[in-house]
Each structure stands twice: as C-alpha cells, then as structure tokens.
Amino acid sequence: MDETKQTFLYKDLSGEIEAKIHNGTYHPGERLPSIREFHRQRNLSISTVYQAYIALENTGLIEARPKSGYYVSPVPLNRLQTPAFEKSSSPPRKVELSLIINAVIAAVNDPEMTPFGSSSVSSELMPVKHLLRIAKTISVKDMKTLINYPLPQGNSELRRQIALRTFGIPDGVAADDIVITNGCMEAVTLCLQAVLKPGDTLAIEKPTHFGFLQYLNAMGILVAEIPTDPQYGVDVDELENVLNRSPVKACLFMPSFHNPLGSLMPDDRKEKLAGLIHRYDIPVIEDDIYGEIFYEGHQRPSSLKAFDRKDLVMTCSSFSKTLAAGSRIGWVIPGKRFREKILRLKAATTVATASLEQYIIAHFLSEGAYERHLRKLRTAVKNQLIRTALAVQKYFPEHTRLSIPKGGALLWVQLPSGADGLQLYQKALEHKISILPGVVCSADGQFTRYIRMGCGHPFTETIEKGIQTLGKLAGEAVNCRS
Amino acid sequence: MDETKQTFLYKDLSGEIEAKIHNGTYHPGERLPSIREFHRQRNLSISTVYQAYIALENTGLIEARPKSGYYVSPVPLNRLQTPAFEKSSSPPRKVELSLIINAVIAAVNDPEMTPFGSSSVSSELMPVKHLLRIAKTISVKDMKTLINYPLPQGNSELRRQIALRTFGIPDGVAADDIVITNGCMEAVTLCLQAVLKPGDTLAIEKPTHFGFLQYLNAMGILVAEIPTDPQYGVDVDELENVLNRSPVKACLFMPSFHNPLGSLMPDDRKEKLAGLIHRYDIPVIEDDIYGEIFYEGHQRPSSLKAFDRKDLVMTCSSFSKTLAAGSRIGWVIPGKRFREKILRLKAATTVATASLEQYIIAHFLSEGAYERHLRKLRTAVKNQLIRTALAVQKYFPEHTRLSIPKGGALLWVQLPSGADGLQLYQKALEHKISILPGVVCSADGQFTRYIRMGCGHPFTETIEKGIQTLGKLAGEAVNCRS
C-alpha cells in the first residue's frame, strides 16, 4: 500500500473517533476499543489503527494508560461553548484605528514574547533544508536571468504550479490567469485598488483581520461590517439587507478559515453568497490564505470562486502560512474581468515580485514536495491548536468560550464577563506573552471581551506555561470585577 | 600605489581629455599628446596614462592609429545639439494615459527585442557569480530565520550598509532612518500615499518617468508639470510660479540623472530648490535611483536631501540599476517627519520585503564588494552610452539632437522636424527593436518628436545595427514629410 493511501486510512479513523468524542458518543474518561478490536472490525492493519491512536494522543484528545489501553481524556473539548455570535451591523463608517494598534503589532512581532499574538506558523514546521537545497543548486546561467527585471505577472512555472493546485473553478485556471504578488496582503490591496476609490463602501466581516482595517483606514475607504458567525462565517441574509440599504461597491471576505474566527462557510452557504453577489453584481475579494490548512477530509474546502459563474470573485492567497512568510510570495486569481487592471496596478506599484524567492518556491512545487509537506503541516498545526484549546479550557476561568475551527491556526477566545481583552493583553506583556486583543479586529472597537490566540508554534512547556499565566491573569480580572 | 588611487589618477586624466574634446580644445581628427609626453609633463606613470587612453578609446571618443598614436575621433560629440528645453507649464490636470502605454511596456520587456526601450542595466555587467556564492553559503540556521516574517522596515544589516553609503545629509542617516521596500517604485508610492490623497495636486517634472504617470493616473492624483531642462533639471523659478498659483501638496523630482532626460541639477540649483520648498513647506519625494551611476569625479552627486534642513525630502532608491533588478530591493530615507507613516503604510500594503534577497545584498555590501563593482559598472555604462550617442550621431538624420548626461544610462533624443517618436516606435517594432516614444513621458502627450534610448546593454554589433536601422527609419520619415 502506498504511503498516501495509508495516510488517508488512518486519518479517516482518527477523524471518526474525534467526531464521536466531540458529539458525545464517547464519554470523557471512557475506554476506547483496543487496537486489535479495530483491526478485526474494520479490516485495517494494526499499524494503521496504531497511527490513528498516536495522532489522537498527540492532540491530547485521548490518552494512553500503560497496560490498560487508550481512554478519552477526562476534560474533553465538548464542554466548551462557542463564542457568541453578535448579530449587529451598522451603517457604512470610516475605519477608526485603535491607538494601541502600533504597540500591538510591535508586541506581536517581538521574538522575545511567547507568541500567541502572532498569526505566523513556526519555521520549525517548514521544510527549511529542502528550500535551502534548492537555493544551492541555482546555476550561474539561472542567476543571470534571476538578476533581471522579472515579469510583472511573475515566474511562469510558479504560476503553472499554483494553477495545477486549483480545482472546481468554472472555466478552470491557467498559469496566465494568475498574478504573483508580494504576499497575500499585496494581492488584497491590488484588488481593492482595482474596484474601489477613497470614500467608497466595502462590506467586510465583523470581526476581520486587523491588517485590512489598517489599510482601509489609510485609504479612506468606508466599511459596512457584516456580522460573522464563529463557526459558519459571514451572515449572508444580513449582507443582503446591507446591500439593499447601502452603496456597497465590493466585499472582502475570508470564507475558508477566517482570521480571527477560524470559521468555515459550508458549501451551501458559499453558494448562497455567490448567488447574492451575482444578483447585485458586486465584486468579492476572497482571502484564502489559510485554505490549505484544513483538518478534516482529504481535500481543501472549495474556494468561493468555485461557485462564481459571473467572474466576480478575485481569490488571493500566499505561501506565508504554509511555506515561507519571509519569501513574501502570494498571488491573486483575478478572473478575466479584472486581470488587466490588476496587472497594470501591480506594474505601477511594485513593478514585479522578487525573482529568487519565486524560483525556489516554483522548484519546490515542481518537485512534488509541497503536498507531502502540507500533509505533515496540517497534522502538526491541528495538534497544536487542539492542545492549546485543551489548555485554555484547563487554565482559563469558567465561562471562557471558544470554538475549535476546522482549519487554520487561530483560536478566537471569548473571556468571561468582567474580563477585558485589552487589559489582558497589557498584563500579559509584563509576563513576556503576546496575544491579540479582539478590540483591534473591528472598525467600531467591539469585541472587547475577546482575544485571538495563534497556534502556529509547537506546543512546548513554554507555551503551556504561557496559557497557564494567561488563564491566571484572566481569572484575576474576573474576580476583581465580581 | 593602491588600486583605488591609480584609478582616480587615470580617471582624472581621461576626464580632462574628454572635457577638452567636448569644449573644442582638441579638434576632431587631431593627434593627441603621446603617452610618453603626458608621462613627462604630468609626472604620471606610463601605465596610468595608458589606462586613460584605453578608457577613452572604449568610449569611441578617441582612436588609436598603429605606429602613429592616439587621435580625436573625426566625428566628435560636440557637433550634437542639446534637445530643446520646452519651457511651457500648465494648470494641474488629470493624468491621461496614452492608450499605447501597455503595448509600449510589453515591447520594452520583450527579450526578443533589441532593448533600447528598456531602462534596465544588463546582467552581463552584474556580479552574478559573487551574489550566487553568497546564496550558497546560507546556513540552515540562517534559513530558519529567513523563512519567518521579516521586519516591516527590513534587514538591519542591509539598512546599516545603506546608511553607511549616505553622506552630507543634515543630522546624518542611521539604519533606523531607512525603510526597505520592494524596489524604488514601492518607495515612491509609499511616499505619495503618505502625503497625498486622490484629487490632490503633485508637482512633477516634464518630462518624467512614465511609470509615475501610470500610478498617478490609477490613484486619481492631479499633476502640475514643471518644465525640466535636459541638462540642468527642473526649472526652480517656474516651480515657484506654479506654487504661487496652484494648490500643490507635494513634489516628485529626479534631481540626479533624471529619467528620461539624464539631467543633473547642479548643487547650487539643488540648494535653490531646497530653499524654495522650505519657504512653501512642501514635501519633496526624491527619486535617486541612478545616483550611483555618475561618470565624473570620485563621488556621487549630493542628493537633494543633503540641502534639506527642514526634513521635507524623502529620498527613494534601489539596487535595480546597479546590482539586481530581480531582487526588488529598494529603500526610502523618509526623515523623522514621515517615518512612522511610511512604516505603517508599508506594513499595511506589502507587510515586509523578501528576506533572502535582502540577506544576499546585505552580505554583498558588508563584504565591501559594492564599491568595487560600482567603479567597473560606471565605466562600462558610460562607455556604452557614449558609443550609443556617437552611433546616433553617425546614423540618425541631420538635426537630430541629444545631450550626453553626466550619469545614468539613458539618452533623450530629439528627432528632426517631420519625424514622430511614436511612428518610429511602431516602425522599429517591425524590425524587433524597442524604443520608448517620448509621448508617454508627460501627462499632456507632448514630446511627440522625442525618443528615450536605454544604454544599459553592452555595445555589440547588434546594438550598432539597431541604431543604424533606427536612423534609417527616422530618415525615411523626415524625407517623406519634406
């Protein structure tokens, strides 16, 4: 049996057991079937069942007891409640930036901090040696080419490799349908420039990525904030209400593994959203940066663009969360409607994208190494995230709420009444711990009781102690108030 | 005697002889003093004088006749007239882009074309092997760091090295005063975003870099075009008139080796410009991308920022013309006044700049290799430019005008009455030759009789034949009309 097929089999089994733990079929503390039992019942090899159990043990969901077998952990995640879905929307407004945003960004980027504030994924999880090996095989002839001005649209082999990884998009995606950018953020800003001018209104999710708010503030773009469910993504009905009463020119959404929520719009909801934007003829910028870090099934969730039959969706992504943030290599699939405009804007702002970084990533993909790497990365990030969630449950005060996303690397945590995310952020800094206060994730400074915790770093003792400290600080705040 | 001192001595001598050819002290065809005569008169070594003659011979300004000595070439450049200085300015207007601009850019980037349209400098002149060697010494530990998100302001050693190369700037420049960008163009667009919003008026040179016009058009920024002298740069008196009657919010100028003119503002003119912007309190964005490619003296021309005592000048540059355009590494020295804003905009648009490219260039500079490379590069580009100018004089129709710049890699050529730059561009394409028609270099489509010729590529037979073909096509146009 080849390695890939075996991986699928053990993941099927671990996914099934995990679902049964979450929905309460297996109770906390209950003994699980033995490896031999599963082997007989399911006609699976001993090693496949063993791998599934190891994977579950790594997440902390089950534990091995010597000479006794595997047990569901005594404190399972189904005790946690999903953060509230605050269904308020507001008329288009200017983005007012919280004054603390610069300090927050500095803390988030500070390598001295225990890094819950950061959305980055650790270089420990990246194929550092392989990328370096590619860099070391560059010939003088190649280097001569790499030194010249690159094409504004980017390295053709890299575009072909990215095109090969797309699926389900009407009319398909070819290399020429892709424009390489300086990370996902440049992709998003080019799309925004293509469809909006200052004073125009953009529909965004509430909450959203604070980096978007920074840019929209700088550009003088108004925002209509659409309530977004921590599990199922943006509220399409509420979006329709807003489209009816406000002059929305475009939308900027993260349908798959939202930042900060981690929410995933189910396919039927994506289809409904596509139908709505078709009726209103509104372009949508789709940020798909976490799309490849899915935890369930064997295939990434469909992008919104797969439901788009009117060429209105521009899909942006990058390798920053999955391979090398430092390379600053992202891309946009702008569709035929916006391609020329995006390409002109790209040429007029940053001219082109760094050639060496494009070359290295193109080769990594051409060698077929990316999918192998992603399989490992998904498992590692999922394990880190579940262990972080379990530790939050263990150490944070009662009535803390969070949802376990189906992908990405972020946890959205609602603190109990009496606690304040910004205060917790400030107290945590004194302990050299960074978190992202939820207040920076919306234009109206809501989400004061929320924090975002990044789970991109291996779950070490330092990480666990950091969560313990955060929990203690949050508990003190709750007790002070009550 | 060390290598550097000897280089200075021979360059002094070749510069002196060249000046005497240009000002007519030495006549076309005249025999020059022998090597031995100069050796005795000046107390210079034989080899120094010999090097000076070789350098002049490489430019085509003098020629060696076997067993007879060195002679001034029969067709010296002093016959050429400087292009006209068209001293018109106009009220602020929207930038209307010539419809042909996209086709022009495509032709300019087409590697199949003889590349007079391009402003790039050939990779043949770049230290390809040395840069590659640095890439190959990267350790796994370094690579782990390079894979992470870089700082928005850029690699600290690279910033330190750039700071070390600045001089004469009031209060000095430290590493922290520099922000690394995706090439010079991102530096310029960040500065524009920091001081202007759509509908505001920017003073620009006329003509200017067509890339700026593209961006200003996309952003809806109005321009007041200030007449600019092909030799001495922007007309400061006319700028004052415009400042008096128009609501100019900022200026975007290229004081040293202007694109497309090649003009260099003398120091007293830079000082006058600085005084004017101080009185009117107007920020100036200085594009200094060609500043290091000077042909005379031992030191680069002062940047406008050296005359700026009110922290109003933001100086932008890059390594695109001098080292590796493909690296997309540029920078801005924004001054204390604008630093925070620029840094915030950088973080909000492209987040950071590619880390591997920054690392390689930082090491190249740290090793002291950049100045050695630049000395060779300046000589090579100067030779190419003078040989191109001589060939234009030889092959183009009578009454063609051009000026020999004191730096950069561009020639601004005025065609005789009856010829049209755009028509010549179109005819040239049929012969697989690209040029830049002057009409794309101003917002009002003036300069129909001009073309810009890039001299960044080694002067080969193909290049010479290309110039011959261009001259023939231009001649046919003139004859048709007359």
Both B285 and B401 in a single domain?
no
Query: Is residue A361 within 8 angstroms of chain B, CB to CB?
Result: no
Both A195 and A319 in a single domain?
yes
Which residue did the predictor score with more confidence, A446 or A320? A320
Kindly state the greatest CA–CA separation across chain B: 70
| B residues 131-190 lying closer than 8 A (beta carbon) to A | 131-132, 135-136, 138, 140, 143-151, 182-183, 185-186, 189
Residue burial B393-424, b: 16+ Cβ < 10 Å; e: rest: bebbbeebbbbbbbbbbbbbbbbbebbbbbbb
In a domain? residue B46: yes
Which residue did the predictor score with more confidence, A222 or B20? A222
Closest-CA distance, B357 to chain A, in angstroms, reads: 7
Question: Which of B146, B329, B347 has its CB closest to that of A326?
Answer: B146
Query: Is residue B345 within 8 angstroms of chain A, CB to CB?
Result: yes
pLDDT of residue A12: 85
Residue reference for tokens 């591997």: B356
What 3-state DSSP class applies to A52?
helix
Tell me the average pLDDT across B394-415. Answer: 93
Both A99 and A29 in a single domain?
no
**Which value does ipTM take for this structure?**
0.88
Closest residue of A to B355, CA-based? A326
| Integer CA distances (angstroms), B7 to A242, B4, B47, B146, in order | 71, 5, 11, 38
pLDDT of residue B403: 84
Question: Which of A147, A193, A350 has its CB closest to that of B123?
Answer: A147
pLDDT-above-90 percentage for chain B? 71
Last residue of a domain, one of B344, B370, B396: B370
Closest-CA distance, B402 to chain A, in angstroms, reads: 27
Which residue did the predictor score with more confidence, A20 or A225? A225
Tens digits of residue pLDDT in A338-391: 999 999 999 999 999 999 999 999 999 999 999 999 999 999 999 999 999 989
Beta bridge partners of A333: A315
Mean pLDDT for all residues in chain B: 92
| A268: number of Cβ within 10 Å | 9
To probe the interface with B, which of A180, A182, A316 has the most B CB atoms within 10 Å?
A182
pLDDT of residue B380: 93
Evaluate if residue B59 carries a pLDDT over 80.
no
Under 8 Å between Cβ of A178 and A333: yes
- In 3-state terms chain A splits into helix, strand, coil percentages (rounded to 5) of 50, 15, 35
Evaluate if residue A116 carries a pLDDT over 90.
yes
A329: chain B residues, CB-CB within 8 Å? 354
Kindly report which listed range (A88-102, B112-126, B144-158, B232-246) carries the lowest average pLDDT score: A88-102
Tens digits of residue pLDDT in A60-108: 788 888 888 898 887 656 556 888 887 777 788 888 876 677 788 778 7
In a domain? residue A334: yes
Residue reference for tokens 């390594």: B319
- Cα separation, A213 vs A216, in Å, equals 5
Last residue of a domain, one of A18, A43, A77: A77
A129: chain B residues, CB-CB within 8 Å? 140, 143
Residue reference for tokens 């009319």: A171
Closest residue of B to A137, CA-based? B136
Task: Report CA torsion sign: A55, A57, A62, A68.
Answer: positive
To probe the interface with B, which of A101, A108, A146, A209 has the most B CB atoms within 10 Å?
A146
Domain coverage including residue B404: 80-85+97-123+372-481
Query: Is residue A345 within 8 angstroms of chain B, CB to CB?
Result: yes
pLDDT of residue B464: 95
Under 8 Å between Cβ of B205 and B254: yes
In a domain? residue A357: yes
Global pTM reads 0.89
CATH number for the domain that contains residue A163: 3.40.640.10
Both B385 and B436 in a single domain?
yes
Q: Which two tokens stand for residue B379?
A: 């000589």
| B367: number of Cβ within 10 Å | 12
Query: Is residue B103 within 8 angstroms of chain A, CB to CB?
Result: no
Instruction: Read off the pLDDT band of B73 (50, 70, 90).
Output: confident
Evaluate if residue A432 carries a pLDDT over 70.
yes
Both A297 and A403 in a single domain?
no
Closest CA to B323 of B119, B122, B126, B118: B126
Kindly report which listed range (A106-110, B292-296, B409-413) carries the lowest average pLDDT score: A106-110
The tally of domains found in chain B comes to 3
Q: What angle do CA A252, A253, A257 make, to 5 degrees?
A: 150
Query: Is residue B438 within 8 angstroms of chain A, CB to CB?
Result: no
Query: Is residue B123 within 8 angstroms of chain A, CB to CB?
Result: yes
| B residues 209-268 lying closer than 8 A (beta carbon) to A | 211, 214-215, 218, 220
What 3-state DSSP class applies to B139?
coil
CATH number for the domain that contains residue A59: 1.10.10.10
Both A114 and A134 in a single domain?
no
Query: Is residue A48 within 8 angstroms of chain B, CB to CB?
Result: no
To probe the interface with A, which of B328, B340, B359, B440 has the most A CB atoms within 10 Å?
B328
Question: Which of A186, A329, A350 has its CB closest to that of B183?
Answer: A350
Residue reference for tokens 């049964």: A20
Both A102 and A140 in a single domain?
no
Question: Which of A132, A183, A360 has its CB closest to that of B351?
Answer: A183
In a domain? residue A86: no
Tell me the average pLDDT across A175-183. Answer: 97
One-character DSSP codes across A340-363 = HHHHHHHHHHT-S--HHHHHHHHH
Evaluate if residue B1 carries a pLDDT over 50.
no
Under 8 Å between Cβ of A474 and A419: yes
Last residue of a domain, one of B310, B345, B370: B370
Q: Do A132 and B151 touch (CB under 8 A)?
A: no
Both B404 and B435 in a single domain?
yes
- In 3-state terms chain B splits into helix, strand, coil percentages (rounded to 5) of 50, 15, 35
Query: Is residue B349 within 8 angstroms of chain A, CB to CB?
Result: yes
- Cα separation, B285 vs B141, in Å, equals 39
Sheet containing B436-437: give its strands across: B401-402, B410-414, B450-454, B436-437
Mean pLDDT for all residues in chain A: 92
| A residues 297-316 lying closer than 8 A (beta carbon) to B | none
Both A113 and A210 in a single domain?
no
One-character DSSP codes across B315-381 = EEEESTTTT-GGG-EEEEE-HHHHHHHHHHHHHHHT-S--HHHHHHHHHHHHTTHHHHHHHHHHHHH
For chains A and B, count residue pairs whose Cβ atoms are closer than 8 Å.
202
Closest-CA distance, A236 to chain B, in angstroms, reads: 28
Q: Which two tokens stand for residue A455?
A: 């789970």
In a domain? residue B110: yes
In a domain? residue B205: yes
Tens digits of residue pLDDT in B324-367: 999 999 999 999 999 999 999 999 999 999 999 999 999 999 99
Under 8 Å between Cβ of B378 and B295: yes
Query: Is residue B330 within 8 angstroms of chain A, CB to CB?
Result: no
A377: chain B residues, CB-CB within 8 Å? none
Evaluate if residue A406 carries a pLDDT over 80.
yes
Q: Do A348 and B147 touch (CB under 8 A)?
A: no
B252: left (phi over 0), alpha (psi -120 to 50) or beta: beta
Under 8 Å between Cβ of A116 and A434: yes
Closest-CA distance, B471 to chain A, in angstroms, reads: 28
Both A442 and A310 in a single domain?
no
Q: Which two tokens stand for residue A319?
A: 């390798």
Q: Which residues contact B117 (CB under 8 A, 6 or more apart)?
A: B104, B107, B108, B425, B434, B435, B436, B452, B454
- Cα separation, A86 vs A450, in Å, equals 12
Tell me the average pLDDT across A442-459. Answer: 93
Closest-CA distance, B69 to chain A, in angstroms, reads: 39
In a domain? residue A56: yes
Question: Which of B148, B325, B348 has its CB closest to that of A325?
Answer: B148
Closest CA to A340 of A155, A188, A153, A189: A153
Closest-CA distance, A142 to chain B, in angstroms, reads: 10
- Strand A433-434 and strand B313-318: the pairing is unpaired
pLDDT of residue B75: 63
A120: chain B residues, CB-CB within 8 Å? 148-149
- Cα separation, A89 vs A201, in Å, equals 14
In a domain? residue A82: no
pLDDT of residue B77: 62
Evaluate if residue A16 carries a pLDDT over 70.
yes
pLDDT of residue A1: 47
Both B401 and B366 in a single domain?
no
Distance of CA B73 to the CA centre of its chain: 27
Question: Which of B109, B323, B350 has its CB closest to that of A186?
Answer: B350
Query: Is residue A208 within 8 angstroms of chain B, CB to CB?
Result: no
Question: Which of A129, A150, A360 has its CB closest to that of B140?
Answer: A129
Tell me the average pLDDT across B466-471. Answer: 97
What 3-state DSSP class applies to A62?
strand
Closest residue of A to B101, CA-based? A344
CATH number for the domain that contains residue B429: 3.90.1150.10
Q: Which residues contact A357 (CB under 8 A, 6 or more apart)?
A: A324, A327, A328, A329, B354, B356, B357
Under 8 Å between Cβ of A156 and A174: no
Closest-CA distance, B374 to chain A, in angstroms, reads: 16
Both A46 and A143 in a single domain?
no
